[in-house]
């Protein structure tokens, strides 16, 4: 279960596999795990209307929701929060491809690329 700071409580789950990958990226970026985190965002665009965005940031913005999940701090802005409540971020790896995958119960549709969705 994720714990949340700031006004809008949301649930965002980072699986152990995804958290391990995020920690690898954070080490490569040479950021401090105590203050840095993974920005999880939703942006207009993509082939289905919205697309996911992931990046490593040094610290949260003043109005971010900060969520601790899987031992990783996640930063979510208020626009993205409405689309990310209940989302599970996983890391999938198989013979053909590897990458982060979103399981979003809010999405009513998506596309083949897996990084775009409709609400």
Let me know if residue 112 belongs to a domain: no
Confidence grade of residue 44 (pLDDT, cut at 50, 70, 90): confident
The pLDDT value recorded for residue 96 is 81
- In the chain, the percentage of residues whose pLDDT exceeds 90 is 56
Question: How many CB atoms within 10 Å of residue 45?
Answer: 11
Residue 116 lies in a domain: no
Strands 72-76 and 37-44: parallel
Average pLDDT over residues 29-43: 92
Q: Which residues contact 34 (CB under 8 A, 6 or more apart)?
A: none
114 is a domain residue = no
User: What per-residue confidence (pLDDT) applies to 58?
Assistant: 94
Alpha-carbon torsion 43, 8, 25, 87, what sign? Answer: negative
Decide if 69 is inside a domain: yes
Domain that holds residue 77: 3-105
- Tally of structural domains, the chain: 1
Task: Report the residue count for the chain.
Answer: 119
**pLDDT average, residue stretch 83-100:** 89
Q: Which helix (H) or strand (E) holds 62?
A: none
Domain of 92: which CATH number?
2.60.300.12
Q: pTM of the entire structure? A: 0.82
């Amino acid at each position: 279960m994720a714990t949340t700071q700031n006004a809008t409580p949301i649930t965002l789950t980072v699986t152990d596999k995804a958290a391990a990958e995020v920690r690898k990226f954070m080490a490569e970026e040479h950021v401090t795990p105590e203050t840095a985190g993974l920005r999880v965002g939703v942006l207009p665009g993509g082939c289905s209307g919205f697309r996911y965005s992931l990046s490593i940031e040094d610290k949260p913005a003043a109005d971010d929701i900060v969520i601790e999940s899987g031992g990783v701090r996640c930063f979510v802005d208020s626009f993205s929060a409405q689309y990310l409540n209940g989302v599970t971020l996983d890391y999938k790896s198989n013979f053909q491809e590897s990458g982060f995958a979103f399981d979003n119960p809010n999405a009513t549709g998506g596309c083949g690329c897996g990084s775009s969705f409709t609400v």
